[in-house]
Amino acid sequence: MTAPIDTLKELEARVRDLEVTAQRTGQNLDAAITPLRAEVDRLRAAQNPAQPPAPKGDPTRWERVQLARAPGRPTALDYVEHLCTEFTELHGDRRYGDDPALIGGPARWQGVPVMLLLQQKGRDTKSKIKRRFGSANPEGYRKAVRLMDLADKFGLPVVALVDTQGAYPGLEAEERGQGWAIAESIRRMLNLRVPVVNVVIGEGGSGGALAIGVGNRVLIQENAWYSVISPEGAASIIWKDASKAPLAAEALRLTAPDLLELGIVEEVIPEPEGGAHLNPQQAAQAVGEAVTRHLRDLMAQSPTDLKTGRAARFRRLGAYTETT
Amino acid sequence: MALDRFFRRRRPQQQGGADMPDLWTQCPKCKEGLYNRDLETNAFVCHKCGHHLRLDAAQRVTVLLDEGSFTQLSGAVQPTDALAFQDTESYPERLKRAQKKTGRPDAILTGTGAILGVPVTLAVMDFAFSGGSMGSVVGEEIARAAEHAARHGTPLVIVTASGGARMQESALSLMQMAKTTVALETLAEQGLPYVSLLTDPTTGGVTASFATIADVIVAEPGALIGFAGPRVIQQTIRQSLPDGFQRAEFLLSHGMVDAVVDRREQREYLASLLGLLTRREVSA
């Protein structure tokens, strides 16, 4: 496929514009720039179809971040298409609108009826822009709360696929209570009396990811990242220079193996050699197998144990020492 | 006691002329010179323009609680550098500097006390410590304060002042958003009220977790409160932001907070509210 030249030029101009502003003012504009830059890269790659060679050996942290953003990496809906035989998308938060960046509904996951919550980045430029590259607005998180209410009511386990740079940093998002909506979503998920399995399938950016990330089992794909801030954001704060993102990625320890070591995730789901984008079918099989295994395990637990076990899991997390 | 030590050592943030550093503070908004003694009796509110000066945690406790009623809970939990975080300086070096500046292990002070006789458990974030950023210690102390309140049957008041989650603890900081929520649910299950008091500034992961799931949310006049910072938003949308955007009054008009309460009236407001929510009877 060849991207429309105008779209590419327009996006490139927008990226340059933002980069100049970021440089001039020392601000962190990462949330705006990174998805656009990734899209520019993807469009360029589409026009010049030579595939980059797959990295050999263990990728560095920064290489993994790039794999998490690789053009053609499966999106949440790609996994649904591979793994679910039925999916009824339910729309709207009943308060303001319907957010295409965070979607969901009941589905049959490898035969198991579940409630899906999906951060969907979009597959082509048009849908990526429509879905704001997976950065949700408050109505997205409020829809998630609504769907979690339904899951609790009907005893459906929740499967949440996390893939976002972060919640959308827009004016209207703030007016409608972005922080409030995220906090409410975290609380709702923690209180669920059904099994909850989360998978970080690409980017796990900060509170916007955590909003649907507080389940009984948190899994992450081998080349996904999860952090309090994106590497570009951290680099802008530390060195006032987003191009130092590779250094920030090292400092943040945001890769799947790091998170397993820190006890933040239960399991790292292996990806096909070179990354999930090189073999989406194989990537989906691994995700499907891991999620179903954890679901089956959790479905044997009582509703009370599911809730208290999840609460205990998050109550423990953190690193500190104690003086007596 | 600990508070006296703080007042001797610490100075208000905005000092007046170098010739009289201990007597005057300049209002950061209207630039009026204010006698520190007057400022203290006026709850650190500018008597000319009403600007609410930022407080450190010890000052906040003094302003909010009945004199002599405070018993500290926090202090034993100490930060650690689990990630060996290194940027332009190491995390332990940053911590040491912030600890020296504020005299506390991390950006949080918790304890028990009373507001006009109403017993409360109180947690106060300290913006002076690394911008009030939330890492593992802040999360743990807030969780413990909530659990203390649940155990002892008191309402909980949390005063927020934070730039958000702490970068140097990466995903561990992020998890504190969930940890604090878990502990607050323990309190909620006991039917005890939790009131958050949002002060300037409250942003990021704090806004997106414990600050905004309170039963009642109170904000200080003029406080900046939001998820994303105003400059980031401005650059995302590429248009100027409306006057007063993300300020306490803006949030009140958008239905996001219950009240904007002048600092000099907060004690009466909280005592009355908490008395009602805990169904305290008073003789007619």
Give the residue, B261 or B1, on which the prediction is more confident: B261
- Tracing tokens 């320890």 back to the chain, one arrives at A253
- Read off the pLDDT of each residue in B118-136 and give the average, rounded to a whole number: 97
Say yes or no for a CB contact (<8 Å) between A183 and B77: no
Among B85, B212, B237, whose Cβ lies nearest the Cβ of A251?
Answer: B85
Q: Is the domain of B136 the same as that of B173?
A: yes
Question: Is residue B8 one of the residues assigned to a domain?
Answer: no
- pLDDT, mean of residues B252-262: 98
Q: Which of B82, B176, B182 sits opposite A190 (nearest CB)?
A: B182
- Spatial CB neighbours of A179, under 8 Å, sequence gap ≥ 6: A207, B207, B208, B211, B212, B226, B227
B45 CB contacts (<8 Å, ≥6 apart)? Answer: B39, B51, B52, B53, B262, B263, B264
Same domain, B48 and B67: no
Question: Is residue A7 scored above 80 in pLDDT?
Answer: no
Q: Which amino acid is located at B267 in the chain?
A: R
The rounded distance, in Å, linking the Cα atoms of B192 and A134 is: 37
- B242, B147: one domain: yes
Residue of B182, B206, B216, B217 for testing the chain A interface, max A β-carbons within 10 Å? B182
At residue B15, the pLDDT reads 46
Q: Is the pLDDT of residue A70 over 80?
A: yes
Q: Rounded mean pLDDT of chain A?
A: 91
Q: Which pLDDT value is given to residue B1? A: 39
Does residue B109 share a domain with residue B75? yes
Higher pLDDT, B283 or B38: B38
Which CATH number is B182's domain given?
3.90.226.10
- Cβ neighbour number for residue B1 with a 10 Å cutoff: 9
Contact yes or no for A25 and B231 at CB 8 A: yes
Mean pLDDT rounded to a whole number for chain B: 92
Number of domains within chain B: 2
In chain A, domain spans = 59-315
Identify the three-state secondary structure at position B111.
strand
Sort out which chain B residues have CB atoms less than 8 A from A21's CB and list them. Answer: 235
Q: Are strands A320-322 and A217-221 parallel, antiparallel or unpaired?
A: unpaired
Between B18 and B9, name the one with better pLDDT. B18
Same domain (yes/no): B228, B191: yes
Select the residue of A207, A226, A238 nearest B87 (Cβ to Cβ).
A238
pLDDT at A323: 86
CATH T-level fold of A59-315: 2-enoyl-CoA Hydratase; Chain A, domain 1 (3.90.226)
**Beta-carbon contacts below 8 Å between A and B:** 201
Subunit contact B172:A317, Cβ cutoff 8 A: yes
Q: What is the pLDDT of residues B213-222, one digit of tens each?
A: 999 999 999 9
What's the CA gap between A323 and A214, in Å, rounded?
Answer: 30
Side-by-side strand order, sheet with B156-162: B71-72, B108-115, B118-125, B156-162, B194-202, B216-219, B259-260
Mean pLDDT of B224-241: 88
| Residue B105, in any domain of the structure | yes
Distance CA B203, CA B226 (A): 5
- A positions 203-232 inside 8 Å of B (CB): 206-207, 210-211, 214, 226-229
User: B188 and B135 in one domain?
Assistant: yes
* Residue B183 confidence (pLDDT) above 80: yes
CA–CA dist A12, A6 (Å, integer): 10
Instruction: Please tell me whether B251 is known to bind a ligand.
Output: no
DSSP at A270 = P
Looking at the structure, tell me whether residues B37 and B113 fall in a common domain: no
Based on the domain organization, do B127 and B213 belong to the same domain? yes
pLDDT exceeds 60 at position A182: yes
B2 in any annotated domain: no
Q: Name the A residues in 279-298 with CB < 8 Å from any B CB.
A: none
Exposure of A135 in the CB half-sphere (CA atoms within 13 A): 22
pLDDT tens per residue, range A231-278: 999 998 889 888 999 999 999 999 999 999 999 999 999 999 999 999
Query: In terms of domains, do B60 and B144 share one?
Result: yes
pTM of the entire structure? 0.89
Question: Facing residues of A97 across strands?
Answer: none
* Lowest-confidence segment of A307-311, B68-72, B241-245 by average pLDDT: B241-245
Residues 6+ apart with CB under 8 A from B252: B219, B259, B260
pLDDT at A1: 39
Question: A171, A237, A240, A262: which to substitute to probe chain B, counting the most B Cβ within 10 Å?
Answer: A171
Residue of B143, B239, B254 with shortest CB distance to A315: B143
* Same domain assignment for residues B31 and B144: no
Same domain, B59 and B180: yes
Closest residue in A to B237 (Cα) is A170
Confidence of residue A2 (pLDDT cuts 50, 70, 90): very low
| Residue B206, amino acid | V
Residues B41 and B59 in one domain: no
Has residue B1 been placed in a domain? no
pLDDT for the residue numbered A49? 53
Cα angle: B45, vertex B46, B51; to 5 degrees: 75
DSSP for A109-132? ETTEEEEEEEE---SSHHHHHHTG
Rounded CA separation A9/A282 (Å): 34
| Per-residue pLDDT band at B238 (split at 50, 70, 90) | confident
Q: What is the residue range of B168's domain?
A: 55-278
Burial of A191-208, coded b for 16+ CB within 10 Å and e otherwise, reads: bbebbbbbbbbbbbbbbb
Q: How confident is the model at residue B2 (pLDDT cuts 50, 70, 90)?
A: very low
Calpha distance B190→A181 (Å, rounded): 24
Bond into B201 cis (ω within 30): yes
